[in-house]
Amino acid sequence: MNLKRLIFLLLLQGLVVVLFYGRYVHHKPPDTPPSTGKVHVLVLSSWRSGSSFMGQVFSQHPSVFYLMEPAWHVWFTVKSPTVRLLRMAVRDVMRSIFQCDFSVMDSYLPEQHNVSSLFMWSHSRALCSPPACPLTPRNQTSSQPQCFQKCDARGLQKVEEACGTYSHVVLKEVRFFELESLYPLLKDPNMDLRIIHLVRDPRAVLRSREESASSFYKDSSIVLGQRKVAAAEVQYQVMQEICRSHVRINERAVLKPPPFLKGRYKLVRYEDVARSPLKEVNDIYEFVGLGMTPQLEDWIYTLTHGKGKGPAFQITSRNATNVSQAWRTMLPYSKVKRVQEVCEGAMSLLGYKTVKSEKEQRLGIDLLVPQGPYQFSWVSTKKEHKSKR
């Protein structure tokens, strides 16, 4: 046997060994669940920031199982809660639901619960379509009032079953204030989590919250850690907490992200979506691996170019550009000034210019700093310089 032949045979043997072992070594032990190949999306936002609209953009997509605010159940079940006390429970509820395991809801629902026990269940198109309900074909947009009438069912078996049939599970949360508690989900090899961080001009958020102030009573006291705050101050202190959380989340994800967070975070500004809804939604779909359909394109166009103003908490056709600018005429300058003070850092980081007078507020000048790829590092260096002085 010559040397060449020997080397060839040795290589061949090595290859056989590698292939043979590979089958066993790479084979997972039978007790770990196989990776489902699902994409998990968390729409992380705050109250009155366009998250219902963004939720619908996912909910109506034929490949998406969408659920709104599972954290609502946790916040409204636990006694004397604070944000910190609840966040791990919320995280674990989300993890289970992402994996289509609804048994976790048992702690937070009445004993004989039904589909209708889930918060805002009829806003989820997947719960109005087969296999959850025969009403709406999966490739059509659903009607919430009809679904509400026709699609309740006993227990949550149908919900679990439906969840398992979609490639994407999307949850929307406004009750989440940091990213760190999500790290185990981001590191979990059985999960593929993408985070859409949806923010809005704090002045517009304040105006919108004032429209329906009483509905935030309980949430506000949780955000403020049950501390006593004068009634006139509550809104500003809550806004401060919200703004701080936006800074915390964005800086964590953009400035020095841990490796498992890279490419999994996308900041979305409500105002950019209002100005060019189709472009922004296309970008968002692309980020999570969903395709646009002609039907969705029509639906998004109609929803964002309507004439109505629409009542709070309802998705109706409205003029999105118009709605996003309403604070400039509706809010007195004194309040604008105050919210600019408590949200100064967030506004500079996220690209919302402050106004220095009532005149400037009422004028039509554009207050949105265009989002460039280098915006964030630029803002942060500026801040570092400031703090060194």
Ligand X SMILES: *[C@@H]1O[C@H](CO)[C@@H](O)[C@H](O)[C@H]1NC(C)=O
Q: Given the complex with ligand X, which of 170 and 320 has the nearer CB atom?
A: 320
Would you say 148 and 114 are in contact if contact means Cβ atoms under 8 Å apart? no
Q: Given the complex with ligand X, which of 67 and 254 has the nearer CB atom?
A: 67
Calculate Rg over the CA atoms of the chain: 24
For the CB of residue 284, give the shortest distance to ligand X in the complex, in Å: 21
For the CB of residue 36, give the shortest distance to ligand X in the complex, in Å: 23
The residue behind tokens 């915006």 is 375
**CB proximity list for 206: less than 8 A, separation 6 or greater:** 235, 239, 327, 331, 335, 339
Would you say 50 and 198 are in contact if contact means Cβ atoms under 8 Å apart? yes
Q: Given the complex with ligand X, which of 87 and 203 has the nearer CB atom?
A: 203
**Helix ranges restricted to H, the chain:** 3-25, 51-59, 70-75, 83-98, 144-150, 157-164, 183-187, 202-211, 217-223, 231-254, 270-275, 277-288, 294-304, 320-324, 327-330, 333-342, 344-350, 358-362, 375-388
Would you say 281 and 297 are in contact if contact means Cβ atoms under 8 Å apart? no
The residue behind tokens 């944000």 is 83
Alpha carbon distance 293, 299 (integer Å)? 10
For the CB of residue 72, give the shortest distance to ligand X in the complex, in Å: 16
- Partners of 41 in beta bridges: 170, 194
CA 89, 95, 98, 99 torsion-angle sign: negative
For the CB of residue 233, give the shortest distance to ligand X in the complex, in Å: 28
Q: Which parts of this chain interact with ligand X (CB under 6 A)?
A: 110, 112-114, 117, 137, 139, 154, 295, 305, 307, 319, 321-322, 325-326, 329
Q: Given the complex with ligand X, which of 181 and 321 has the nearer CB atom?
A: 321
For the CB of residue 54, give the shortest distance to ligand X in the complex, in Å: 20
Structural tokens at position 372: 């460039």
Q: Given the complex with ligand X, which of 321 and 375 has the nearer CB atom?
A: 321
For the CB of residue 141, give the shortest distance to ligand X in the complex, in Å: 10
Alpha carbon distance 12, 48 (integer Å)? 64
Q: Given the complex with ligand X, which of 187 and 305 has the nearer CB atom?
A: 305
Q: Given the complex with ligand X, which of 117 and 165 has the nearer CB atom?
A: 117
For the CB of residue 117, give the shortest distance to ligand X in the complex, in Å: 5
Residue 201 has a CB neighbour count (10 Å cut-off) of 26
Q: Given the complex with ligand X, which of 114 and 237 has the nearer CB atom?
A: 114
- Give CA 163 to chain center in angstroms: 18
For the CB of residue 333, give the shortest distance to ligand X in the complex, in Å: 16
For the CB of residue 293, give the shortest distance to ligand X in the complex, in Å: 7
Q: Given the complex with ligand X, which of 221 and 304 has the nearer CB atom?
A: 304
